[in-house]
Amino acid sequence: MYILGVSCFYHDSSAVLLKDGKIIAGAEEERFTRKKHDAGFPINAIKYCLKEAGITVKELDYVGFYEKPFLKFERLLSQHLEMFPFSYWSFYKSIPSWINEKLRIPHLMKKKLGYKGDILFIPHHLAHAASSYLVSNFNEATIMTIDGVGEWATTTYGYGKGNEIKLEKEIIFPDSVGLLYSTVTAWIGMSVNNSEYKVMGLAPYGKPTYYDKLKKVIDIKEDGSYKMDMSYFDYHYKLKMPSKKFIEEFGSIRTQKEEVNQKHKDMAASVQKITEEIYFKILNNAYKKYKCKNLCVAGGVGLNSVANGKITKNTPFKNIYIQPASSDSGTSIGVACYIYNVILGNKERFYMDNAYLGPSYSYEEIKKFLDDNEIKYKILKEEEIAKKTAKLIRDENVIGWFQGRMEWGPRALGNRSILSDATNPKMKDILNLKVKHRENFRPFAPVISKEDVHEWFDIDQDEELFMLFVYPVKKDKRKIIPSVTHVDGSGRLQTISKEQNERYYSVIKEFEKLSGVPILINTSFNIRGEPIVCNPYNAYKCMMGTGIDYLVMDRFLIKREDNLKDAWDSEKIAKD
Amino acid sequence: MRILKALKKLHKVVTGTIINIVNFILLLPVYFIGVGITSIIAKLFKKGFLNLKKENKKSYWTNNEVKKGEIEDYYRQF
Ligand SMILES: [Fe+2]
């Protein structure tokens, strides 16, 4: 039985294919179109899923969509009815896409995909809840979903047991902690639905001096429910987020020319504190009700790895599962699994313990690409790959690491990664100079061999599969791995075992032999402002447009310096 | 080749602008008559569409009314 889950038209479109209850393929559309956060119909992602399964559209048994479009449209109309006559510009900007696309999903599926069957529409927060709980390894769990907004709901909690899910309580639009975070992101002069993670990275540089002022904007109850004073916001009827009153209270919106200053850092720290307060209050309240120590989180706010890393310290929850694409792109998983497990009643659930759901390229395909383009390379023996890569990393090189199937979700987890030396104090600057050109306040993340994690981090879990939790680096170790230790002494780590990804793991262990440290910097393999690389062409182009020194693609070792005929400057096109 | 590319770009800009102008004009009556009249009548009857009022309740949680339904319920877009 084949089930296709689709999510699109808000941000980060994606598609996932289930075969007899197992996820066999999944990808975000942006990886194929090379348009970051592409919200368009995920035709390329769907085609990839079908190709991976070797089937045609006709063989799909069910197709599911990640929300109820008419309910979302009802919310949109309500916004205009409430705010008339002040919302015309937003009405004019949004209505055409509703008429042409969003209200015509079955028509689009037929036109773009050739799918003529019925479509199942799963309520958005239920799709979020399913995207985490149904692919977790828990047989029962408390569930919290928290995002910008779905149809109406913005925050929910409930319970999953066996193959059943019940979301019991909700907070609805316009009250939304996700949109509050986005408003502050916009106020700091960063892009909404994109740069919220930068605000999270900025927070440790500040003090939550605006916390009390923000409390005037949002009233938080002991049970985690909250209500916002909407006079501080414009997002319910305009295309901008903070209102005039917000600006009067907190100061003007940062312009692109203006440096990020202490005020912005303090505001980031304050909104992070508010978010954590809501997070933990909801969870403590939900725990009182369900008394279950397993927790599943989903929704865009679930990508807040700083808050995630503090859950076990601030609540009674002991085991936490968050699916790697916690935001909207991940709902296509939720949709497909909800159809299979809940609607069709199949009890056996799929446990998602890795994120390698995307396309892979064979040795022959990569060789053909390299030969056709007259790219110089060396072929390594299998046993040489890890040793050679580790040595290059130790020698201060930046490595593009392209192996196996592309990751699902926003994080590179060892198949489309840039790897470098975490022990080198200069490496953050080197990476920023050569490739990333990031704001200086943003940290790089560590990957560590699973068995060593307790020696290096204060972590109460045995593994962290998807880089969704920030934990403190042990105090005596911070100086040893300066490039992955954030200003507050923390790191957003990934653990990896031999069984999960042998080549990736082996590089870490070989690096340990050279340095005594089983940790590398792992950052996403992409040009600034572009999606993570998908195919060999993207990877090679990225290396030649940046300062990446070597590309290890399957068993091929490609040195940038040997191929300078293809060099170009990616910063000329870089956005963001 | 370059001319062709420039023409293509120009064509895109021109059609985009025309579509925007037509949309703007067509949506004006929809908004100011359709949405406007409904909104005014609703407000006369004190009907609100979004909860924007300040209130101080003990809890702001509301019940999620989504029940697990039959498969037919999921075929609906609402
Ligand atoms: Fe969402």
ipTM of model: 0.88
Entry pTM:
0.94
Q: CB-hemisphere CA count at 13 Å for B39? A: 19
The CA B31 to ligand 1 mean position distance, Å, reads 28
Residue B29 has pLDDT above 90, yes or no: no
Q: How far is B61 from chain A (nearest CA, A)?
A: 6
Confidence label for B19 from pLDDT (cuts 50, 70 and 90): confident
Tell me whether B51 touches chain A (CB under 8 Å). Answer: yes
C-alpha to C-alpha distance for A483 and A6, rounded to whole angstroms? 38
pLDDT for the residue A83:
94
SS3 at position B49 = coil
CB contact under 8 A, A167 and B64: yes
Contact A84 B66 (CB under 8 A): no
Question: Closest approach of chain B CAs to the CA of A223, in angstroms?
Answer: 7
| Candidates A68, A96, A175; nearest CB to B77 | A68
Task: Classify each residue of A15-54 as buried b or exposed e, where b means 16 or more C-beta atoms within 10 Å of its C-beta.
Answer: bbbbeebebebbbbbbbbbeebbbbebbbbbbebbbebbe
What percent of the residues of chain B are helix, what percent strand, and what percent coil, each to the nearest 5? 60, 5, 35
Q: Do B66 and A123 touch (CB under 8 A)?
A: yes
* A71/A168 Cα distance (integer angstroms): 19
Residue A210: CA count within 13 A, CB half-sphere: 22
Where do we find the tokens 């309910």? A71
Q: Between residues 28 and 47 of chain B, which touch chain A (CB distance below 8 Å)?
A: 28, 30-32, 35-36, 38-40, 42
Q: What pLDDT is stored for residue A438 in this prediction?
A: 79
Domains belonging to chain A, first-starting first, are 2-135+325-343 (3.30.420.40), 171-322 (3.30.420.40), 363-572 (3.90.870.20)
Report the gap between the CA of B64 and the closest CA in chain A (Å): 5
User: Average pLDDT of B38-63?
Assistant: 90
- Dihedral of alpha carbons A184, A188, A193, A198, sign: negative
Q: Count CA atoms closer than 13 A to A525's CA, side-chain side.
A: 36
pLDDT of residue A572: 77
* Sequence-separated (6 or more) residues with CB below 8 Å from residue A423: A480, A481, A482, A483, A515, A517, A519
d(C-alpha A7, C-alpha A105), whole Å: 11
State residue B18's pLDDT score. Answer: 86
Q: What's residue A576's pLDDT?
A: 65
Q: What is the pLDDT of residue A529?
A: 86
A339, closest residue in chain B (CA to CA)? B71
Q: Does B4 touch chain A (CB under 8 A)?
A: no
DSSP codes joined into one string, A354-418: --B-S----HHHHHHHHHHTT---EEPPHHHHHHHHHHHHHTT--EEEE-SSPBSSSS--SSEEE
Supply the pLDDT for residue A320: 96
CB atoms within 10 A of CB A372: 8
Position A312, amino acid: T
For the beta carbon of residue A240, count every other beta carbon within 10 angstroms.
13
Which residues in chain A show pLDDT less than 70? 576
Q: Are A336 and A6 in contact (CB under 8 A)?
A: no
> Would you call A169 and B64 a contact, using CB atoms and an 8 Å cutoff?
yes
Tell me how close the Cα of B5 comes to any Cα of chain A, in angstroms. Answer: 19
Asked whether the beta carbons of residue B60 and residue A227 sit closer than 8 angstroms, the reply is yes
**Residue A109: both structure tokens together:** 């599926």
Whether A486 and A204 have beta carbons less than 8 Å apart is answered as: yes
Q: Which amino acid is at A496?
A: I
Q: How far apart are the first and last CA of chain B?
A: 50
Structure tokens at A16: 């996932």
The residue extents of the domains of chain B are 2-64
Residue of chain B whose alpha carbon sits nearest to that of A158: B64
Report the amino acid identity of residue A360. Answer: S
Q: Do B50 and A174 touch (CB under 8 A)?
A: yes
